[in-house]
Chains A and B, each alone.
Chain A
């Protein structure tokens, strides 16, 4: 039973980070219709940038804030250089541009930072686990969870209540109408990418604290895809629920299925589950169903 609760809490907390990254993905899709396969590399960039700031002596929290600023700049640049020219192109072209982007970023990251695992030294979070009742939670997970929940609330509030957030929602709903009301669609797209870079960046910084930073953080970033499929591609609450569910699924399968299928069942399970899930509910839990006509 203790094992069960351990998996539950760890899953929940890692899921919080996934939810944060998934939110960034959904915002891009909602606003500009771009299906982004470069999310893993965005996560990786966030992790390395935070690490670099931390390595030159900036404390962790300001380093994360600086990462957010770098994220905004990179997001704007990415949108302007790569995605801006592809609005309205066929889906394959847009997806493959993000794939090209992911290769470019992966190469760039590898060239700058190399392939060794980098660890935050000294560790930012205490290694000694906190004991709550029968549960032992390591502080990394707890703080990551708290930080990602706070950021989730900030992003959702931004999306719901600020002027920019509302104009993003309007563009997502109907681009032409939003344009006629004086919303700058190009600015909105750029803002969506900036938010995606920011959320992925923080997600990466937190994931990098758990196991160190190397290319596998990028694979964790790729897990947003099952998360958003689970929640529905264009649903913000769906992304959050989906992210947490993927975190739970991963940890429970790691705990219970590893005995039967030794090896990396933990890494594969989200994708396997997604493939089966798509057969039954292709539009996710809260995604919009698209009705097709000839």
Chain B
């Protein structure tokens, strides 16, 4: 949805303007307002509970952005994204706990930031490894290879081997105060929220910039017709692997972020469910749009929270509801995916776009 609605009499004079981020002052103001809400408004208004919901939304969105890049922009169907998030999380924790950091790096609070980047790189490379079959297969077969990535990585390597480093039963738990960014120790919900907001903003900026430059156009060409893209001189294997690397990098960073939100790491956090959940998020939000990944995350997380809130008063009469809430969540998620695919295949981003168009011409639509 690159076509930005311009006010009457406003024209672009060159291509740079056409590709510009903020093409009108209104848009610029809107984005500044959005950032102000995210960084100042929400922390001021929300209580601790909603702050942690916001953190969950951010974490989901970080994962969903990578899935959006693979599925929505490059047409590479993946159902194994949680594996790369897991690789990032484990890399980060192992680096923090096991790596012989020089004392000055710890004092300056650089250990965690460095481990975030390292986690991104390791997860990106791991993702490229499992993206290699994409050179040869696509569609359903690619889904199967990414599923294999999920099961091999999380259910086998992480559960059976990595989790046992340092002795069986030793959880990958970080002592309080270990996670330090610069002078700040990340320990309470609001600090975690700010870490999330910064990382997510950076990710969106990087992804949006990639998508409007050469790699992004190559990915979109591959998505629309890979054979035609190859005929146009795009090295499709290279760009597919690049897509896997970038998506894996983002997943790794998301995983490294998850480290500061959780007390102890366990393969339970990265089951196949998470992969499917992320794909569901982008389907509900809208495939092929960055906003879609964010809308989808907000929608899914908030709906699940509201469901839980609704279940609490009901539980007085029917306690099984709260007791078995995980199953109700599964059912609601499944039904939401089916309903969106059947009745609203373009997702929430499309509705947003329609609403914007309506109000652009309001009240005198012609």
Contact = CB atoms under 8 A, between A and B. Distances in A.
Contacts of A294: 225, 227-228, 231
A264 B156 contact: yes
Interface stretch (A102-110, A126-134, A158-166): A102-110
A108 B335 CA distance: 11
B334 A107 contact: yes
Nearest to A262: B160
A196 interface: no
Contacts of B330: 103-104, 106-107, 110
A24 to B, nearest CB: 17
A177 B159 CA distance: 52
Given A262-B160, A268-B156, A107 B276 contact: no
B144 A225 contact: yes
B133 A275 contact: yes
B324 A268 contact: no
A151 interface: no
Nearest to B279: A96
Q: Chain B at the A interface: mostly helix, strand, loop or mixed?
A: helix
Q: Which of A92, A108, A110, A263 has the most CB of B within 10 A?
A: A92
Contact of B148 (A110, A233, A263, A271): A271
B139 interface: yes
A86 B145 contact: no
A99 interface: yes
A225 B148 CA distance: 10
B82 interface: no
Interface residues on A, range: 35 or more
Given A104-B331, A111-B328, A275-B133, A97 B337 contact: yes
Interface in A252-271: 261-265, 267-268, 271
A97 B338 contact: yes
Contacts of A293: 227
A263 B227 contact: no
Contacts of B159: 263-264
Contact of B152 (A103, A108, A272): A272
Nearest to A106: B330
A154 interface: no
A105 B334 CA distance: 8
B333 interface: yes
Contacts of B184: none
B137 A278 contact: yes
Contacts of B280: 96, 99-100
Nearest to A38: B334
A86 B334 CA distance: 16
A92 to B, nearest CB: 6
Counting chain A CB atoms within 10 Å of each CB, the highest count among B147, B279, B330 belongs to B330
A103 B231 CA distance: 40
B241 interface: no
Interface string A221-260: 0000110010001000000000000000000000000000
A274 interface: yes
A287 to B, nearest CB: 10
B246 interface: no
A66 interface: no
Nearest to A290: B139
Contacts of B143: 35, 95
B49 interface: no
Interface string B293-305: 0000000000000
Interface string B150-190: 01100110011100000000000000000000000000000
B26 interface: no
B338 A100 contact: yes
Interface in A63-83: 82
Contact of A111 (B145, B324, B342): B324
A36 to B, nearest CB: 10
Nearest to B339: A100
A263 B228 CA distance: 45
Nearest to A103: B334
A1 interface: no
B336 interface: yes
Contacts of A274: 144-145, 148
Interface string B191-231: 00000000000000000000000000000000001011001
A156 interface: no
Nearest to A111: B327
Interface in A127-175: none
Given A93-B345, A272-B148, A101 B338 contact: yes
Contacts of A261: 160
Contacts of A229: 141, 144
Contacts of B152: 268, 271-272, 275
Interface of A: 35, 37, 82, 85-86, 89, 91-93, 95-97, 99-108, 110-111, 114, 225-226, 229, 233, 261-265, 267-268, 271-272, 274-275, 278-279, 282, 292-294
Given A92-B287, A103-B334, A272-B152, 17 more contacts: A91-B77, A92-B77, A95-B143, A97-B342, A99-B280, A100-B341, A104-B335, A106-B330, A107-B328, A107-B330, A111-B331, A267-B156, A278-B144, A282-B136, A282-B137, A292-B227, A294-B228
8 contacts: A91-B139, A92-B283, A107-B327, A107-B334, A263-B159, A264-B160, A279-B132, A282-B141
8 residue pairs, one from A and one from B, having the closest CB atoms: A103-B334, A107-B330, A104-B334, A263-B160, A100-B337, A107-B331, A110-B327, A275-B148
